[in-house]
Structure 1
Amino acid sequence: MLKIIATLALGAVFGVQASQAQVADSALIEADSSSVSEHRIRVNGERIRYRAEVGTQPVYDDSGHPTATLFYTYYQRTDVGDDPNRPLLISFNGGPGSASVWMHVAYTGPKVLNIDEEGYPVQPYGVQENPFSVLDVADIVFVNPVNTGFSRVLPSADGTMPSRDEQQAMFFGVNEDISYLAGWVETFVTRKDRWRSPKFLIGESYGTTRVSGLALALQNNEWMYLNGVILVSPTDIGIERNGPVEVANRLPYFAATAWYHNQLDERYQGLGLLEFLEEVEEYAVNEYLPAVAKGAFLGADERARVAAQVAAYSGLSELEVQRNNLDIANSVFWKSLLRDEGFTVGRLDSRYKGIDRRLAGDRPDYWAELTSWLHSFTPAINYYLREELGYQTNVKYNMFGPVHPWNREGNQAGEDLRQAMAQNPYLNVLIQSGYYDGATNYFDAKYTMWQLDPSGRMRDRMSFAGYESGHMMYLRREDLERSNEDLRQFILNSLPAPGEAAKYD
């Protein structure tokens, strides 16, 4: 096996002085390695056998030299024989700079965190069986992009580490990321003999930009066609929603969060969440958006009416809405909604409450949900990979890795996905969002779906599913079951019938 010293001292890589911990993280890493173990689990009521392969696989440049090595975990069901129709689900998280840990040990994988029914951490930290995993219907590979998890940049052919600018040009940007990952996926599929398999990409948060772009890159550069793309808590994927659209699209999320925290009048609090949100969505598109678009030329009476209604839906005061010129920033909402009770609400999951140094201000001191999640995810993934799956390394597992500055120029991932769908009649898209996600709110996700194909010719191949939780909607036990089942049915329904050709009638 190729063993290469991956120099991780950030002073060499990013031009800053490295800490002792960062220097200690410079270690021998096997650029091409694997460790395999056999397991059993009961999934969806069925006892199944599966193989877990944990390892690294290089990224190669045009001359065949390894420029980085990516850490992956590959789960393959072993009691179904050699079935060419067995789907392969390729999973990415986001950030950019995030490891694959989140969906790996909390959503689709065979093991999930030890957490309570609502997703809050409990000790002892660790993992338990996931009875809802989609491993019964699809094999899964979780991929860690460069500098996340145990994935690392490797020395150049002359033995020196690439400079910061050289690394960015190779890995750290919207299109750079898509380009090298497409090549890595092709190598993986070839090595694992999965060319005949129906293939699906799933990405969460920034991972939705990644998989949207990969859909076209795999088709056009690797000649690999997909059956489905799943966008979990999607970003804008390059589809603009600035100005009044951005302002109006926040309101349904504000309303959902206020409803959850019982901050509304009984008229709204007494409604079911989905019934309430249907009303707010209609208002946001048909009245709030045009009002914000009028700006300073909105009449005083109409301005007062809009402020009153936005306040009624959001749980904020009319004065707060007026003082912000009808444009409530997310940070103001997170700080203000529960101010009188002494709490802030979370960004990625607004069910979570935080406590700030001062009640005053327009931004929370910290994100209560993220600190809560890191409680349980960090020890769980380190324990699970090393002790249950047997992957031994002295390299630090980067929950969030050094990938910045990230080149965001040329982001047309949404258009890439549209074109991939147009070229491939088999390709379907599922969007999954949590109603209490303030980072990538669910109504923005709906808007992205509406704008993805302006022609409307492919709308029957796109679907949306919402959940009563946040950015990682699968942390709530009820939504873990629902989201996996929605994903399971999407995979099965995206498989063509025997003899069904990929063509437009």
Structure 2
Amino acid sequence: MADEERGAATTGAPEQTRDYAVVSAQRAREVPEGASARLTWSGGDAPIDYEARAAHVEVRDDAGTLVGQMFSLSYVALGEDGRPDPARPVTFAYNGGPGSSSVPINFGGIGPRRVRPDGMRHVRADAPVEDNPHTLLVDSDVVFLDALGTGWSVLAEDADPKKVFCTDGDADAFARAICAWLTENGRWSSPLYLYGESYGTVRNAALMRLLGERGVQLTGVVMLSAVFNIAGLINPGDDLYYLGMMPTFAATAQFFGKAGAGVDEDEWFDRAMAFAEDELAGALLRGDRLGEERERAVARRMSEFIGLDAEHILSRRLRVDLLDFRRHLLADEGRVCGRLDTRFSSDGPSPMQSFDTWLAGEDAADDALEGAWVRAFRRFCADELGYRGPARYLSNNYDKVNASWDWGHEEPGLGRVATPNMALDVAVALRRNPTCKLAIIGGRYDAATTWWNVVHDMSHQFLSDELKGRVSWYRYGCGHMAYVDADALAAMGRDVHEFYGKR
């Protein structure tokens, strides 16, 4: 899956991860030598010569003890003299999960090569790979990093997975890997950017503050499909969860012709945002004090937006969760809509397959593309770079990493919390470094990290007008993986190009 776990996230770090650490330790002693090639990108008006390099970056603690080796695939533009430009920006990019490698955002999104998607259809295993006309390489050198425990990244023999498979340990490992890469490649004079997707935006938020505390000043941060308040993601039952889902449900219902006929898509989404805040929020807040007449009126209004019967909505007391919506919106067609991108759909499961946690992790959008991305990545590393990685590449490792994840976090100003709101970290980082710029990118059809929630979370940081002016917002007609949509990718390419050019 591109960014999110299959199944529900849990807290804590069970002992089963010790077995994985032992396996990883063996692999850590066998990581291949780095390999590189000089290539040319020809996807735009002016070609770019660049070096692509696959290698591992050592992650060491303050005592010099090896924690792990993080796999990186870097793309560095070369000047007329055949050398990198140390004044050119460097962007460190990754997906999330937790438990996802960086292949989706690389070969699906912003790398110099991408698998050509096919609308809302499942692509073939041999889908064409092309020079990406909207690659970030135009504006910045890019280093794609696989989190420890994913891809070809491995833990050291004596490393404790509990200290890595957690919010703060993950951020610490990435901070160390970033600094190591900058040192090894002599790029400390380059403007530094972070580009994270999904849980990668949680990582970004922690890194914005952590790197600043370690004297590493960032020029900019890109948050793609952002999630900040973890409770709203993993705790259905929280009113913020239902409020965040409602506009995305409305957009999806309009896409499938169940609501919003004749209304512009963005206007329809804005109307749904307003309904969620002005009517639904108050109704949810009042609970059983709302009264039957008012509850029925809100249900009828909500039905007009999300395409489900008002009686069904009433039976859920106005609280329709994602799995319920996915099951019922297209039920008359025998289909289930997606999660990462709700425009994708597939045949519904057999009536015998009723296990909710399993069904929640089944996703047509993910199935449509991930296999082709991984195959293109492996072919590129082997055939063009001559890099011989292990036979198995963990494009995702949710069973070991996500299931063991400790969501606890040392929240600035609050201390240790079990389910953090990372918008606090973002706000602290911006206040400490008001020269840093921030881009927040999302899509109307993303039910994994809903747009309303990130808008809500940032609006509750009460930033000054000056700091709010450092934040650029971009919303597209796409799902979680914005780059899957050709129009969204083109718009995102233009907007990110403009963002990188801002002072």
Kindly name which structure, 1 or 2, has the bigger radius of gyration based on alpha carbons: 1
Q: 1:14 corresponds to which residue? A: 17
Q: 2:467 corresponds to which residue? A: 458
Alignment of 1:307-318 (within 5 A): 307-318=299-310
Q: 1:370 corresponds to which residue? A: 366
Counterpart secondary structure, 2:109: coil
Q: 2:423 corresponds to which residue? A: 414
Take 2:84 and 2:374, find their aligned partners in 1: how far apart are those partners?
36
Take 1:412 and 1:15, find their aligned partners in 2: how far apart are those partners?
29
Match of 2:249 among 250, 254, 264: 254
Counterpart secondary structure, 1:97: coil
1:176 maps to 2:169: yes
Count of residue correspondences: 468
- Structure 1 residue 393: deviation in Å? 2.3
- Structure 1 residue 28: deviation in Å? 6.8
Aligned 8 A contact 1:331 1:362 in 2: no
Aligned 8 A contact 1:433 1:445 in 2: no
Q: TM-score, structure 1 length as denominator? A: 0.86
Specify whether residues 367 and 83 from structure 1 end up closer, same or farther in structure 2 by C-alpha distance, changes over 3 A only.
Answer: closer
- Structure 1 residue 328: deviation in Å? 0.4
Q: 1:335 corresponds to which residue? A: 327
- Structure 1 residue 126: deviation in Å? 5.4
Which of 1 and 2 has higher RCO (CA within 8 Å, sep 6+)?
2
- Structure 1 residue 445: deviation in Å? 2.4
Take 2:225 and 2:75, find their aligned partners in 1: how far apart are those partners?
24
Specify whether residues 480 and 29 from structure 1 end up closer, same or farther in structure 2 by C-alpha distance, changes over 3 A only.
Answer: farther
Q: 2:99 corresponds to which residue? A: 97
Counterpart secondary structure, 1:325: coil
Q: 1:345 corresponds to which residue? A: 337
Aligned 8 A contact 2:24 2:154 in 1: no
Q: Which amino acid aligns with 1:191?
A: E
Alignment of 1:232-271 (within 5 A): 232-238=224-230, 243-264=238-259, 268-271=260-263
Take 2:84 and 2:49, find their aligned partners in 1: how far apart are those partners?
14
Deviations 1:434-492 (A, max 9, x none): 21111111222222332344555521111221121211010112222111221111111
Q: TM-score, structure 2 length as denominator? A: 0.87
Aligned 8 A contact 1:114 1:126 in 2: yes
Q: 1:57 corresponds to which residue? A: 57
Q: 2:6 corresponds to which residue? A: none
Take 2:111 and 2:382, find their aligned partners in 1: how far apart are those partners?
16
Take 2:355 and 2:152, find their aligned partners in 1: how far apart are those partners?
37
1:148 maps to 2:150: yes
- Structure 1 residue 63: deviation in Å? 2.6
Match of 2:222 among 230, 234, 240: 230
- Structure 1 residue 269: deviation in Å? 1.2
Specify whether residues 127 and 89 from structure 1 end up closer, same or farther in structure 2 by C-alpha distance, changes over 3 A only.
Answer: same
Which shifted more, 460-469 or 146-155? Answer: 460-469
Q: Which amino acid aligns with 2:109?
A: Y
Q: Which amino acid aligns with 2:221?
A: V
Take 1:120 and 1:89, find their aligned partners in 2: how far apart are those partners?
30
Aligned 8 A contact 2:32 2:388 in 1: no
Q: 2:414 corresponds to which residue? A: none
Aligned 8 A contact 1:239 1:451 in 2: no
Specify whether residues 420 and 351 from structure 1 end up closer, same or farther in structure 2 by C-alpha distance, changes over 3 A only.
Answer: same
Aligned 8 A contact 1:343 1:354 in 2: yes
Take 2:438 and 2:113, find their aligned partners in 1: how far apart are those partners?
26
Take 1:320 and 1:112, find their aligned partners in 2: how far apart are those partners?
42
Aligned 8 A contact 1:121 1:376 in 2: yes
Specify whether residues 257 and 286 from structure 1 end up closer, same or farther in structure 2 by C-alpha distance, changes over 3 A only.
Answer: same
- Structure 1 residue 281: deviation in Å? 1.1
Alignment root-mean-square deviation, CA = 2.6
Take 2:446 and 2:195, find their aligned partners in 1: how far apart are those partners?
18
Specify whether residues 109 and 232 from structure 1 end up closer, same or farther in structure 2 by C-alpha distance, changes over 3 A only.
Answer: same
Take 1:448 and 1:44, find their aligned partners in 2: how far apart are those partners?
37
- Structure 1 residue 237: deviation in Å? 4.7
Deviations 1:70-103 (A, max 9, x none): 1001111102666443111110110001000010
Deviations 1:40-69 (A, max 9, x none): 112442211111111011111233232210
Which shifted more, 119-128 or 320-329? Answer: 119-128
Deviations 1:395-448 (A, max 9, x none): 521111232411111235322221111111211111111211111112222223
Specify whether residues 408 and 360 from structure 1 end up closer, same or farther in structure 2 by C-alpha distance, changes over 3 A only.
Answer: closer
- Structure 1 residue 15: deviation in Å? 5.7
Deviations 1:94-117 (A, max 9, x none): 000100001010111000013324
